[in-house]
Each structure stands twice: as C-alpha cells, then as structure tokens.
Chains A and B, each alone.
Chain A
Amino acid sequence: AQRVTQPEKLLSVFKGAPVELKCNYSYSGSPELFWYVQYSRQRLQLLLRHISRESIKGFTADLNKGETSFHLKKPFAQEEDSAMYYCALSASAGGTSYGKLTFGQGTILTVHP
C-alpha cells in the first residue's frame, strides 16, 4: 500500500528565512514523488517532481530512498510562497495505477513579512 505523511499541518516562517516542508512516504516499489501547491483561490497545480531534478520558484526537493523522504526546501522564503503544499506519490512504471496519486494531508505554509 502507498502512504504519504506530512507531519506538519502548519508551518510559519518570516520572509527571507529558510523553509523545509517534510514529506515521508511508504511504498514497496520505486515511487515517483511530487509536490503540488494550492495558492489562495486557485486550483491545485504541480510545483515540482523528483524525476525532473529541477528548481521551481526557488524550491528544490531531493528524493532520499534510504530515509523514504522527499522534503521540500527553499533557502529564502517569500510572502508569495504562502500556500497549501501537498506531497504526492505515484506508482512507478510497470504498475497498473497509471498515474494515480496518493497525497499527504498537506502543510499550510505562511510566510510573514
């Protein structure tokens, strides 16, 4: 079974401070991990995915298979980063889920001025 855990429901930081949103997963196969973000009054959208190894809006996330984690990090938080962040997992190639996502509970990030 797939499971995603985001231990922090709320995270508050000040502008310019580093931020780390934690995500741990449980999956017996080789997962694909994603971070989705929902800004106020907007729809859920992809922020980044581990397979791309990219930095989006200054955010990065490294898949650590040993610790089964996929924490989202940004060195200098901005007020516009305030949003709900969801970590999500998908079964890898060879499974039958074909992209079905398992989401964590989400973390509300608030960046104070």
Chain B
Amino acid sequence: DTGVSQDPRHKITKRGQNVTFRCDPISEHNRLYWYRQTLGQGPEFLTYFQNEAQLEKSRLLSDRFSAERPKGSFSTLEIQRTEQGDSAMYLCASTPQGRGPSTDTQYFGPGTRLTVL
C-alpha cells in the first residue's frame, strides 16, 4: 500500500503522560500536514512541513505539542503532559510537489485516535 500511513491507530493514555505519533507520507510527497479532529467537528489544521522545514504552526498547537520531520520523509507529533482535552483523532496528510503555492490534492492517512483518561 503506497498510501499515507499512521502509527499507532489507537492510543489510550493517562493524563500527564507523553505520547508520540508517527506519519509516513506517500513516497516523494514533500508537503506534510497534521490536523486534529474532535467529535462532531471537521479537521483543524495544526502544522505543515515542506520537506524538513516546519513552515507554519496553528495557534491550536500549544507549547506541549511538537512536530518534527527530520529527514523530510516521516513525521512525528509529540504531545507532552497530555490533558483530557487532547482526546481527538490526529490526521496526517501529504501532497506532492505542487504547481506553485496552490493546493494539490491532500492524501490523508487513517488517523491516530487518542484517548486521554
């Protein structure tokens, strides 16, 4: 399967613990996005990478959140000192080299569902 993959698919943790999620984009896609989706809402943008450079971070991304894409391939999203309000589906998407800054089709992964007890 050459689609976007995310690991783990489900994570249950206790409040205060740290968690890390991984996203593997489609090969050679240089843009990678993280979104968060809570129940009954559409996905909300968290952050964006072009290759290894993190170009934008949403105000939703508090200091407890950090994302990396060290080699311009896979990406990790870490949440430190988790809170119950962090419970959500975390989605990753990637796009190939675009035709300028316009959006190309975003290919989404299956998501990681986080539950903070």
Contacts and interface: CB of A to CB of B under 8 A. Distances in A.
A98 B106 CA distance: 12
Category for how many chain A residues contact B: 20 to 34
Given A43-B109, A98-B55, A105 B102 contact: no
Given A46-B105, A106-B42, A98 B98 contact: yes
B61 to A, nearest CB: 13
Given A32-B103, A93-B101, A97-B56, A103 B33 contact: no
A94 B101 contact: yes
Contacts of A43: 3-4, 108-111
Interface of A is mostly: loop
Category for how many chain B residues contact A: 20 to 34
B56 A104 contact: no
Contacts of A90: 102-103
Contact of B43 (A44, A49, A96): A44
Contacts of B41: 105-106
A83 interface: no
A100 B106 CA distance: 10
B82 interface: no
A99 B93 CA distance: 11
Contacts of A106: 41-42
B50 interface: yes
B101 A95 contact: yes
A93 B99 CA distance: 10
B44 A103 contact: yes
B42 A96 contact: no
A93 B102 CA distance: 5
Nearest to A9: B40
Interface in B67-112: 91, 93, 95, 98, 100-111
B113 interface: no
Given A99-B95, A100-B48, 16 more contacts: A6-B42, A43-B111, A44-B108, A46-B105, A86-B42, A94-B101, A96-B101, A97-B56, A97-B101, A98-B31, A98-B55, A99-B31, A99-B101, A101-B43, A103-B35, A106-B41
5 contacts: A43-B3, A51-B102, A92-B102, A100-B45, A100-B48
